[in-house]
Amino acid sequence: MIVVFVMAAVLWGTGMAMGTPKRARWTMIGILIGAVVLAQLVLPDGNPLRQATGGDVRLWGLLLGIWAVGLGYRAFLRMVRKQAEKPASAVTPKAGFSATELDRYARHIILREVGGQGQKALRNAKVLVVGAGGLGSPALQYLAAAGVGTIGVIDDDVVDNANLQRQVIHTDARIGDPKVQSAADAMTAQNPFVTVRPYQRRLTAQDAAGIIGDYDLVLDGTDNFDTRYLVNATCVALGKPLIAAALTQWEGQISLYDPASDAPCFACIFPDAPDPALVPTCAEAGVIGPLPGVVGSMMALEAVKEITSAGESLRGRLMIYDALYSQVRVVKAKRQPTCAVCGGTEVSI
């Protein structure tokens, strides 16, 4: 077998010295290996030539199989590159995707459910995230990484040392800084191709419609029911889809609320705020650190699916994730005709 490798090396070196094209050199080596395999098949056991070239055709079959896998993988990489570059002129906005963007989003573009059109939709989308805490942190990071063109983030809080156990978009050096600015700096550092709009304030009934009205989709990761109901009522009034999630200790839940598409709104599922004594805050009850990352990432994923029209969303379904026992339940949720927010009554915001 060593003799065959030496002969192949000689053929390659000679061809290189003579300026023979690579394709011709590979052809010569292929003919050589083909002749060796033929000799293995037709010559009897014990033949000196067969022994000198390996003695067993199965060994050559294994080597050829490994070589074929390598060539196939190389061809696949070329196809991915070609697929990533192909949509640039066909499906992108007038300015087009830069070469850096194409390379960055290549794993999206080769997905059949996303493709160039889906990546274009992501770049043209405007998403508002209410809350830059535990849920907002991973949601914001993945929206920025995915290439969502305009991302708004509203929060009136500052980074605190106790946040860093779970709010992964912030750093120790940012303690004391406004969360929205900390998040904006992290997002633009990760992806300079997105535009981030920080709103350092608490969302109020006076400005909710003005802010939310400028976005296509809203993600609510707040930790108080007053803001949740305000965001929900505003989204219902403006016909905006809302992805909302909540956490407690080891459990999280998430759904997409959209009465405009005949799905329930948040108030259909939770018509009344529970007694505060029955719903302790994370500071009072605790929350396991990675849980907001899991559920917040689900929020970003649902947002990407909604924008690109990929797969089946959580519209009309409530997903409940129990991290302690590694269980996921999905329950159907229906719009309530008697809902005070979306059940046919006038919504005031």
Is 19 within the bounds of a domain? Answer: yes
3-state percent breakdown (helix, strand, coil) of the chain, nearest 5: 50, 15, 35
pTM above threshold 0.75: no
> Are 80 and 130 contained in the same domain?
no
pLDDT tops 90 at residue 14: no
Mean pLDDT calculated for residue range 291-318: 96
Name the residue with tokens 């459910």. 113
Is 113 within the bounds of a domain? Answer: no
Domain with 54 in it: 2-85
> Are 185 and 294 contained in the same domain?
yes
* Chosen domain end from 85, 105, 133: 85
Q: What DSSP element (H or E) covers 328?
A: strand 327-332
> Are 184 and 307 contained in the same domain?
yes
> Are 134 and 265 contained in the same domain?
yes
User: Residue 227's domain is classified under what CATH number?
Assistant: 3.40.50.720
pLDDT digits (tens, 9 = 90+) for 59-91: 767 777 777 777 777 777 666 655 554 443 333
Mean pLDDT calculated for residue range 126-154: 97
* Chosen domain end from 85, 109, 135: 85
Q: What is the pLDDT of residue 87?
A: 43
For the chain, what's the residue count?
A: 349
In angstroms, rounded to a whole number, what is the distance separating the alpha carbons of residues 104 and 84? 10
DSSP-derived 3-state class of residue 257: strand
Torsional sign, CA 243, 244, 249, 250: negative
> Are 263 and 133 contained in the same domain?
yes
> Are 77 and 132 contained in the same domain?
no
Is 349 within the bounds of a domain? Answer: no
Is 130 within the bounds of a domain? Answer: yes
> Are 55 and 131 contained in the same domain?
no
Is 33 within the bounds of a domain? Answer: yes
* Chosen domain end from 85, 117, 148: 85
In angstroms, rounded to a whole number, what is the distance separating the alpha carbons of residues 226 and 39? 82
> Are 246 and 145 contained in the same domain?
yes
- DSSP state at residue 259: G
> Are 131 and 51 contained in the same domain?
no
Domain count for the chain? 2
Is 285 within the bounds of a domain? Answer: yes
136, 297 Cβ separation under 8 angstroms: no
Catalytic residue among 235, 268, 282, 339: 282
Mean pLDDT of the chain: 86
Beta bridge mates, 203: none
pLDDT digits (tens, 9 = 90+) for 89-110: 333 344 588 999 999 999 999 9
> Are 234 and 179 contained in the same domain?
yes
Is 101 within the bounds of a domain? Answer: no
Beta bridge mates, 315: 256
Task: Identify which of 159, 217, 148 has the alpha carbon closest to the alpha carbon of residue 183.
Answer: 159
Is 41 within the bounds of a domain? Answer: yes
Select the more confidently predicted residue: 200 or 44.
Answer: 200
Asked if 265 is an active-site residue, the reply is: no
> Are 15 and 143 contained in the same domain?
no
> Are 187 and 284 contained in the same domain?
yes
